[in-house]
Amino acid sequence: MTLKDKQTFRDALSAFPSGVTIVSTTDEKGRHWGFTASSFSSVSMDPPLVLVCIANTADSHPAFLSARRYSINILAQEQKDIAMHFARKGVDKFGPHEFRYGTGDDPLPPMLPGSRASLVCIARDVYEAGDHTVLIGEIEAVELSESAPLVYFNRGFRSLELETADSLS
């Protein structure tokens, strides 16, 4: 079997459900940068490493190449509008949303309250991979909530129906 065209490849990838994240950082001039990503995965438990991919054409690409730290906010079901907003180019991404920002004494990257989880990463490695760049981050801190996750599948946002082991019997 061979790849017929790019659309066939996109169709195959859309068959894989994934979580949705907002990745955010603050540059050395104090400007905030961010993008929506579903290309996110764990890499290692020891040390704790994750990866996220950013398009080389993203407005925030240069900021993430030089970032020392960034946060990966795993979105909750009710944060679909934020995911869509951060996927657009040329808009004020942070103004309409309530992020928590670091201070001089506590220089955390922007974190999104209400997320399913927020991971603070120390930038570790960067790899060019076709039309994207792979960012590898070492986890420095984690915040968790009990909210339901936002899922992207077949080119749309979906809800998970959670079942407990007891309900399956």
* CATH, range 20-168: 2.30.110.10
Q: How many angstroms separate the CA atoms of 135 and 137, rounded?
A: 6
| pLDDT tens, residue order, the chain (169 aa) | 566 678 887 777 777 778 899 999 999 888 999 999 999 999 999 999 999 999 999 999 999 999 999 999 999 999 999 999 999 988 889 988 889 987 767 778 999 999 999 999 999 999 999 999 999 999 999 999 988 899 887 777 887 776 766 666 5
47 upstream amide cis, omega within 30 of 0: yes
Greatest pairwise CA separation for the chain in angstroms: 56
Beta strands in 47-148 (DSSP E): 48-55, 69-74, 117-129, 132-144
The domains of the chain are located at 20-168
